[in-house]
Chains A and B, each alone.
Chain A
Amino acid sequence: MLTRVSTYLYRRPTLLLALLLGPPMLYMVVVYLGALFSLLVNGFFSIDDFSGVLVRQLTLRTYAQIFNPANREIFFRTATMAAAVTAADALIAFPLAYYIAKFASPRLKTWLLIAVTIPLWSSYLVRVYAWKLILAKEGILSWFLGVLRLTGVLEWVLELPGVGGSSLSLSPLGMFIVFAYVWLPYMVLPIQTALERVPASLLDASSDLGARPARTFRSVILPLSLPGVIAGSIFTFSLTLGDFIIPLALGNSKFFIGQAVYSYQGTGGNVPLAAAMTMGPVVIMILYLLLARRMGAFDAL
């Protein structure tokens, strides 16, 4: 019976392909793209200012609201944070990924990869609140800085406008630290995979042709692993753009995109504006990818 099924499918490769790809494609198109499209359309609706009732008439008014000063500031703040987190993660992840891919023995490699991914086994909420305790005014970090007699430095940093706050656990800097921590695995793994695919003979060849290690890094390793860095940055950047838990837990009264969407569709009762705000990160990501392609990030693929 099973043999007959296999033989039947063997003779009809198109049917086999349809059976294999059908369900995931259906899911992608209906659930994912459908939802995205619905968001896009909802953004063209608006809310009646007096009654707060949804007006199902196509208008650009809602999208225009994104550009009012308060919302522009939210976008700017979130995108800056996302960019900073992405840059920090790339800087931290690259040496680690390089070591795992090129130097670690197979045994150590397994252990390091487990170590990188272990945080993902526990709930993200737990980790965020653990960090809140670490960063708190009476927390372990400020205690440790006290031991090192660096309390003054901490206080100075917390007074910096736009970075500091009343304590690390209620400041953009604290948020930055937690964001960089929670998304780090998503940066390490793609870079490691990309580096894994760079043959060692290419590094030998570069050195053989007279390139010092810094030159080999710039001219061979970086260009060949750039698709991995871009892939990782897509994760860290878009995850930061859309997150609302970390700003909620560690932020001050200044909104991030995720929080704004959350409050507009909930207490604000303004679903069209929430939908329009959601399209923001989508557009930002598309622009980012176009820019990356233009700069040749995918040439080595």
Chain B
Amino acid sequence: METPAHPAILFDKVSRHFGEVRAVDDVDLEIRDGEFFSLLGPSGSGKTTCLRMIAGFDRPTAGRILLHGQDVSSLPPYERDINTVFQDYALFPHMTVAGNIAYGLMVKGVPRARREAQVQEMLDLVRLPGFGARKPSQLSGGQRQRVALARALINHPKVLLLDEPLGALDLKLRQQMQVELKSIQQRVGITFIFVTHDQEEALTMSDRIAVFHEGRLLQVGSPADIYERPASAFVAGFVGTSNLVSGDVARRMTGSDQTFSIRPEKIHVGPAGEVTAGNMYTVEGVIRDVVYLGLFTRYLVQIDGGSELVVIEQNLKSTSMDVLSARGQRVRLAWAKDHINVLAS
């Protein structure tokens, strides 16, 4: 595929300050055309403000936002070729489902017959055929979500923004919608920018992820990059669970004082004194707590001369009886040397 001349969205030193509060602070960001991009961060990290600035509901106090190379920083939302799926869906309660979906076309003055044909297409795309005559109040959360998606996609925007659209759905429906959103994105080929605080959601769906914290952009990368090579302690802790090893324990292993992170599922638990291969780091400790989670078990291990580490082991052979009786036992933890991720200090 040919690389397009301009990225879909480019943030050029963008800041949004509300008085003293730096909601977004000096962010440079490039979102490629056609990718599924997630803005990930805890609440108040600035990800939603970034989204609102892309949509045009908010304007940067400094810097520029470019849409396919064109500076849109001071264009109102109705002059940007961008559409949004809102967190609360924001469906017009006084219009039918079809009326909602057709709204963008009606505003543009598309003739009724063509509007109706496209609405039918969209209802098929989001798997709601025959729902056109209903009112939003007659739909379930998942169905409203699809209508909101159809209403945005019918305009064939250059970029589609999704503001935590799955937050209000229950787990099963959310997982189903994640798969569906991803497949719709691949079918329509539009750049999706997805805001979420759910790291699992971001990892599942995204081509690339940007992690935000306190208004700053910490790291941009593919899900594997972010998960396996977090650039900072915050990213390591926010995306998945991570153990940070520092001080004496770290020096004994790597010969350096630098903190490194190790993922809980990479750690192997064995009996104390067990002999391990040479390419492993090992440390002994006491199991302080055991949480049996069905598919796997989470151990909290207090390591000698150091902190507590979280370890996750799949319950391949063990039963709940086996794992729960492990509390208080001395164990040896081991992990492969190349599984650690040394953090920049």
What residues of chain B lie closer than 8 Å to A223, measured between beta carbons? 94
Output the least CB separation between A299 and chain B (Å): 6
Contacts of A299 in B (CB 8 A): 94
A201, A212, A220, A224: the one contacting B86 at CB < 8 Å is A201
The answer to whether A211 touches B92 (Cβ under 8 A) is no
Indicate which residue in A207, A215, A219, A220 contacts B77 across the interface (CB closer than 8 Å): A207
Q: Does A209 contact B (CB under 8 A)?
A: yes
Beyond A204-B77, A208-B77, A209-B151, is A215–B94 a contact (Cβ under 8 Å)?
no
> B interface, how many residues as a size bin?
20 to 34
- The smallest beta-carbon distance between B97 and chain A, in angstroms, is 14
Cα distance, A202 to B93, chains bound together (Å)? 9
Question: B155–A209 contact, CB under 8 A?
Answer: yes
B90 within 8 A of A: yes
**Cross-chain contact B93 with A300 (CB below 8 angstroms):** yes
On whether the beta carbons of B90 and A205 are closer than 8 Å, the reply is yes
CB neighbours (8 Å) of B56 from chain A are: 207-208
Chain A residues, CB < 8 A from B236: none
Asked whether any CB of chain B lies closer than 8 Å to the CB of A210, the reply is yes
Asked whether A201 lies within 8 Å of B103 as measured between CB atoms, the reply is no
Taking the complex as formed, is A193 at the interface, i.e. its CB lies under 8 A from any CB of chain B? no
Determine which residue in A199, A204, A209 has the highest number of CB atoms from chain B within 10 A of its CB, and name it. A209
Chain A residues, Cβ within 8 Å of B55: 204, 208
Residues of chain A with a CB closer than 8 A to B93's CB: 224, 300
Q: How far is the CB of A226 from chain B (nearest CB, A)?
A: 9
- Sample of 19 further A-B pairs with CB below 8 A, known A201-B86, A205-B92: A199-B88, A201-B90, A202-B90, A204-B84, A204-B86, A207-B77, A208-B55, A208-B77, A208-B83, A208-B84, A208-B152, A209-B104, A209-B151, A209-B152, A210-B107, A210-B108, A210-B155, A220-B92, A300-B93
17 A-B contacts (beta carbon < 8 Å): A199-B90, A201-B88, A201-B90, A202-B92, A204-B55, A205-B86, A205-B91, A207-B77, A208-B78, A208-B83, A208-B152, A209-B78, A209-B152, A210-B104, A210-B108, A215-B107, A300-B93
Residues of A within 8 A of B (CB): 199, 201-202, 204-212, 215, 219-220, 223-224, 299-300
